């Protein structure tokens, strides 16, 4: 699972604390003026002490390389965030990713406590995957489903993954008003991870993928950010996301070596900034 930071705020409750596509921006809170983006030039520059920081009003993350040996990188992870995000009712259809693929209409496994009154399904209980240390819980999750569409969702979800080195926890509270579903979330992750050297930046940085902006108008020009020359992509139009379509207006992504090192612009009438600090 990669570390695309633009998505963390929106999708972390569903897929874990370090994953997703390029859909949301983080409000800029603390940009380190001493960032050296040339560290992205080569994996040979990944050394002990290399630090990547992501900080916003809603989310903060810090990755610090501890050791590099035998083609592997071990690094510490310290991240947390909380906030409110729009969600999509269609994700909570039976078998949808919002309910972790649970077919709550037909499920009979006793580990799930599912009651049905009219069009309202109430879900409690949960399941786990001991082999990967993952636990999923439904906390009085109520879904109004008429056999074709979902019109209301409320209640909570809890996800936790524990390994010998890393613990990730995500808590979500859902509510619907006037047909609009909102996700109130809190997430935290702490510990260590070990990956191949070649995969380190993919796990901790956000890569630019043109496919994430299919349907929008994207223009490209040369630019400069920090101590590097880079490519600036400007995005306008409607962009699909896991939580529904979003309207991008003059969103600028500064990309170096395939990774987003800065972003700014308006998404759904809200102005956001995204920054990444990297240094040794």
For residue 55 the two structure tokens come to 């900080």
DSSP alpha helix (H) spans, 46-157: none
> Distance between CA 276 and CA 234 in Å, rounded?
18
Give 6's DSSP letter. Answer: H
Per residue in 169-227, pLDDT tens? 999 999 999 999 999 999 999 999 999 999 999 999 989 999 999 999 999 999 999 99
Altogether, the residues listed in the chain come to a count of 280
CA distance 196 to 158: 30
Distance CA 182, CA 194 (A): 35
Helix (H) or strand (E) holding 244, with range, is none
Indicate the pTM of the whole model: 0.77
- Count, in order, helices (H) and strands (E) of the chain: 2, 15
Q: Token pair 């109520």 is at which residue?
A: 142
Q: Which of 59, 131, 143 is nearest to 100 (CA)?
A: 143
Radius of gyration of the chain (CA): 20
Q: What is Dmax (Cα atoms) for the chain?
A: 61
Q: How far apart are CA 278 and CA 75, in angstroms?
A: 14
Tokens of 142: 């109520």
The two three-digit tokens of residue 230, written as one number: 């880079």
Does the structure show a pLDDT above 70 at 235? yes
Q: Is the pLDDT of residue 3 over 50?
A: no
Q: How many CB atoms lie within 10 A of CB 156?
A: 14
234 touches 252 (CB < 8 A): yes
Q: Token match 């809890």: residue?
A: 158
Return the pLDDT at 57.
65
Over 80: is that where the pLDDT of 124 sits?
Answer: yes
Residue 40 has pLDDT above 80, yes or no: yes
């Amino acid at each position: 699972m990669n570390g695309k930071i633009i998505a963390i705020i929106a999708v972390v409750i569903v897929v874990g604390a370090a994953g997703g596509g390029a859909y949301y921006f983080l409000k800029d809170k603390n940009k380190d003026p001493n960032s050296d983006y040339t560290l992205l030039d080569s994996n040979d520059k990944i050394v002990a002490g290399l630090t990547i920081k992501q900080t916003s009003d809603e989310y903060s993350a810090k990755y610090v390389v501890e050791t590099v040996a035998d083609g592997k990188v071990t690094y510490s992870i310290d991240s947390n965030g909380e906030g409110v995000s729009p969600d999509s009712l269609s994700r909570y259809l039976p078998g949808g990713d919002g309910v972790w693929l649970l077919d709550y209409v037909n499920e009979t496994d006793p580990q799930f406590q599912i009651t049905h009154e009219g069009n309202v399904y109430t879900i409690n209980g949960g399941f786990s995957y001991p082999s990967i240390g993952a636990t999923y819980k439904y906390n009085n999750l109520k879904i109004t489903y008429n056999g074709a569409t979902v019109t209301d969702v409320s209640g909570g979800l809890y996800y936790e993954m524990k390994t010998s080195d890393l613990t990730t926890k995500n808590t979500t509270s859902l509510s619907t008003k006037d047909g609009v579903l909102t996700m109130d979330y809190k997430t935290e992750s702490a510990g260590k991870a070990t990956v191949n050297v070649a995969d380190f930046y993919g796990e901790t940085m956000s890569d630019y993928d043109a496919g994430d902006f299919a349907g929008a108008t994207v223009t490209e020009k040369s630019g400069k950010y920090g101590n590097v020359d880079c490519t600036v992509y400007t995005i306008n139009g409607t962009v699909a996301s896991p939580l529904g379509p979003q309207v991008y207006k003059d969103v600028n992504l500064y990309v170096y070596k395939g990774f987003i090192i800065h972003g700014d612009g308006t998404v759904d009438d809200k102005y956001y900034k995204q920054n990444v600090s990297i240094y040794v």
